[in-house]
Amino acid sequence: MKGLLSLILLCCTLSARADVTYPVNNFKYISDWDYREEVQESDKFVVMIFSSKTCLERVIIERSCFLFEKKLDYFIPSFSPKIKVVGFNAYFDNYTVVSQFNIQKIPTVIILKNNQILKRFEATYAQPDINNGRMDWQDELLKEVVSTLNQIH
């Protein structure tokens, strides 16, 4: 009986971590395995969003979790059809791509065309800002990214 309970607990634990659903509708999170097909072989401008799933794994989700990604998701339908947006979980996943682009801050947004980096945006915030609930850095990042993407025709 104890073995059966352990097996059930293990299955529940693994299934809870297997598929994390990100709260966005207009782009998808991909993995290292999809990088070649989705990014390198794309003939579009590719916007790569490096994010983290850690807040989804917490019992109490913080107000700031995925706020930037949710806001950016809202603007994606207005972008040119020449733009493709993909996300990468940079929290202990997708090590190859995260290392290749030397991702140090979350979120980081990189715009590529023909595998060449055109623009890189990194979050600028201090831990006290987050601890005190100041999230205006997300709006600043969003404004820069959306402005740049709206210039792509």
pLDDT in the model for residue 22: 67
Contact residues for 34 (Cβ-Cβ < 8 A; gap 6+):
86
pLDDT in the model for residue 67: 79
pLDDT in the model for residue 80: 92
Report the chain (153 residues): mean pLDDT per 10 consecutive residues.
Answer: 50 46 83 93 95 64 70 93 93 88 91 95 71 74 93 81
Give the chain's radius of gyration (CA, Å): 17
pLDDT in the model for residue 15: 40
Q: Which domains does the chain have, with CATH numbers?
A: 23-150 (3.40.30.10)
pTM above 0.85, yes or no: no
pLDDT in the model for residue 20: 57
Strand order in the sheet with 45-51: 28-30, 83-89, 45-51, 108-113, 116-122
pLDDT in the model for residue 75: 94
